[in-house]
Amino acid sequence: MSSTAHTARIVLISGIASGQGKTTVTAALARKLIRQGLTVRVFKTGPDYLDPMILQRASGAEVYALDLWMVGLDDCRRLLAKAASEVDVVLIEGVMGLYDGDPSSADLARAFGVPVVVVLDAAKMAQTVGAVVLGLQQYGPVELAGVIVNRIASASHAKMVTQGIRNVPILATLPKQTQALPERHLGLVQPDEIAQVDQVLDQMADQIEIDMAAWDAIPPVVLDASLAATSTPQLLAGKTIAIARDAAFAFVYHANLECLRAAGATLTFFSPLNDEAIPADADAVYIPGGYPELHCATLSAAQNWQDSMRVAYAQDMPILAECGGMMVIADSLTDADGKQWPMVGLMPGEVVMQGKLSGLGMQSLATEDGELRGHAFHYSTLSTPVEPQSQTVKRSNGAQGEAVYKRGALTATYFHAYFSSCPAATARIFAPEKKA
């Protein structure tokens, strides 16, 4: 084994579909293993902001995205190898079903030789669970390390489920929860909104029963970390970027912040919900996505923040308003109850919440510096007379995706960019005068 190879017990936790309890099980497993003296790092497959918040709360460490297309094979390998060099256990929560998507969770597992652990909701099944396990194992196939059975109703139910599973270890069981992690239209709610969130996580850790002998029998994964981290040109050297961060604007990848810092930027944070103005030393502003539609009254009344945004715009300060950020820099935002609230007014037009998804999926944006990759997920629409400067392209079918608007130094879009997919294009947003 080379000195650059890192070994840890790594598993990808997946299932047959969304709603099987993958996040609940992953959170409970992480906290339980930590209690037993192991060090644990958690990753989330695919684009997601909310599940990682719960998983970060459960594990006590930042949760990064892994996606072979958006993040890229090499960066996924670097992230995994770094984690494997620092901890005993790496848990990767999959997305949707094991074979759903392109690339799928199974593709990610195969790319790095990571064994799969299947979470199965047994609430309405008994012995048939075994047939589902067999199908998941053989379809790919994948290296199936074991099963975690969720929502066990009783000891007799557990016995029937156990009888149905053949030649695959049952790594853990978790009973039906009396207090589940609540959800809303974009997914799970943010941890700070859940009363006694740590008590809920501790209760789940108490209740998950792990077969440690079966767990210890999972072979460790050896990752070659010989790929040197690429050096990022210092295109944002000397720049201070002010980032909105509070309950309304919480959808930010840790990797995006690291990308900005790697390019030389200094980051500072402020809260529009607390009516904090853009910090005086800012050279650029980033208003990320989140749940502004839940805080319309507070944001509409936040005059210090709104005035500072208008001054920054008038002074041609670079501003990136991304998804939720774009919703609040329009003239108005109409909430789910149909009430219209005046907003900052940097973008002519109005945003209206819808009853169903208005945009979803992986997308890319062609720029003069290369392809910037990311995704969209939103329940609102923007009506504006402003013509888009460009459009993203949907990865699934090549169709036109989200509009990207440019007004002076303002960039506004529903598109969530993964910055390190093209650091030069990212730098140009925040420092347009810089040439890559």
CATH number of 57's domain: 3.40.50.300
Same domain, 256 and 214: no
- Is 36 within the bounds of a domain? yes
* 290 touches 330 (CB < 8 A): no
35: buried, middle or exposed (CB in 10 Å: 19+, 13-18, 0-12)?
exposed
- Tell me, yes or no, whether 215 and 297 share the same domain: no
Which distant-in-sequence residues (6+ apart) come within 8 Å of 213 by Cβ? none
Given this model, what pLDDT does residue 20 score? Answer: 87
If asked whether residues 206 and 63 sit together in one domain, one would say yes
402-433: per-residue pLDDT in tens? 999 999 999 999 999 999 999 999 999 999 87
The domain boundary, picked from 189, 224, 259, lies at 224
Q: Please check whether residue 234 lies inside any domain of the structure.
A: no
pTM surpassing 0.75? yes
Asked if residue 255 and residue 191 are part of one domain, the reply reads no
Q: CB–CB of 232/433 below 8 Å? A: no
Asked whether residue 399 falls in the same domain as residue 256, the answer is yes
In a domain, 24, yes or no: yes
Using 50 as the pLDDT threshold, list the residues of the chain that sit under it: 1-3, 184-188, 435-436
Return the residue matching tokens 């270890």: 169
Q: For residue 64, what pLDDT is reported?
A: 95
Residue 363 structural domain: 240-430
Q: Looking at the structure, do residues 118 and 253 belong to the same domain, yes or no? A: no
In a domain, 435, yes or no: no
Q: Which of 167, 189, 224 is at the close of a domain?
A: 224
Kindly state whether residues 191 and 251 are assigned to the same domain: no
Residue 356 confidence (pLDDT): 85
| CB atoms inside a 10 Å sphere around CB 179 | 12
Query: CB within 8 A of 260, min separation 6: which ones?
Result: 236, 241, 267, 419, 426, 430
State the CATH number of the domain containing residue 303.
3.40.50.880
- Residue 95 domain-assigned (yes or no): yes
Residues 344 and 312 in one domain: yes
**Residue partners of 395: CB distance under 8 A and separation at least 6:** 69, 361, 362, 363, 364
- Picking from 190, 156, 147, the residue whose alpha carbon sits closest to that of residue 22 is 147
Closest listed residue to residue 101, CA positions, set 43, 141, 45, 53: 45
Domain assignment present for 206: yes
Of the three residues 169, 189, 224, the one that is the final residue of a domain is 224
Domain identity same for 288 and 174 = no
Instruction: Please count the structural domains in the chain.
Output: 2
Output the pLDDT for position 231.
75
| 66 and 184 fall within a common domain | yes
Q: What is the pLDDT of residue 32?
A: 95
Q: Are residues 175 and 306 in the same domain?
A: no
The alpha carbon of 317 is separated from its chain's Cα centroid by a whole number of angstroms, namely 28
* Cα distance between residue 424 and residue 258, in whole Å: 14
Query: What is the Cα–Cα distance from 170 to 25, expressed in whole angstroms?
Result: 14
Q: Is residue 196 part of a domain?
A: yes
Please indicate, yes or no, whether residues 154 and 201 belong to a single structural domain of this protein.
yes
pLDDT at 184: 42
In a domain, residue 85? The reply is: yes
Q: Give the residue numbers annotated as catalytic, written as ranges.
A: 323
pLDDT, one tens digit per residue, over 89-111 is 999 999 999 999 989 999 999 99
